[in-house]
Amino acid sequence: MPFIQEGAALLPDLVALRRRLHQTPEIGLELPGTQAAVLEALDGLGLEITLGRRTTSVVAVLRGARPGPTVLLRGDMDALPVVEQSGLDYASKNGAMHACGHDLHTAGLVGAARLLAAHRDELAGNVLFMFQPGEEGCNGASIMIEEGLLEATGDRPVAAYAIHVGPGPRGVFSTRPGPVLAGSNELHVRVIAEAGHGSQPHTAKDPVPALAEIVGALQTLASRRFSVFDPIVLTVTQLEAGEAINVIPESARLGATVRALSQESVDKLAKETALLASGIASAHGCAAEVTFNVLYPVTVNDDAETLRSLAVLREQFGQERVKESPAPAMGSEDFSYVLNEVPGTFLMLGATPPGVDPDTAAFNHSPKVVFDDAVLGDQAAALVQLAFNKLAIRPVG
Task: Indicate which residues carry an active-site annotation.
Answer: 78, 135
The residues near 76 (Cβ < 8 Å, ≥ 6 apart) are: 102, 105, 106, 132, 133, 135, 140, 162, 335
The residues near 216 (Cβ < 8 Å, ≥ 6 apart) are: none
Q: Distance (Å, rounded) from C-alpha 115 to C-alpha 93?
A: 32
* Angle subtended at Cα 172 by Cα 166 and Cα 173, rounded to the nearest 5 degrees: 80
DSSP β-bridge partners for residue 51: 58
Q: Is 351:167 a contact under the CB 8 Å cutoff?
A: yes
CA end-to-end distance (rounded Å), the chain: 19
Cα–Cα distances in angstroms (integers) from residue 280 to residues 25, 239, 314, in the given order: 44, 17, 53
CA pseudo-torsion sign 306, 131, 296, 136:
positive
Q: Is 379:111 a contact under the CB 8 Å cutoff?
A: yes
Q: Is 303:177 a contact under the CB 8 Å cutoff?
A: yes
Cα–Cα distances in angstroms (integers) from residue 199 to residues 185, 195, 209, 295, in the given order: 38, 12, 15, 42
Q: Is 19:108 a contact under the CB 8 Å cutoff?
A: no
* Strand, coil or helix: 144: helix
Question: 3-class secondary structure for 19-40?
Answer: HHHHHCCCECCCCHHHHHHHHH
Which helix or strand (DSSP H or E) is residue 163 part of? strand 159-166
Q: At what angle do helices 32-42 and 102-118 cross, to 10 degrees?
A: 20
DSSP β-bridge partners for residue 222: none
Question: 3-class secondary structure for 254-313?
Answer: EEEEEEECCHHHHHHHHHHHHHHHHHHHHHCCCEEEEEEEEEECCEEECHHHHHHHHHHH
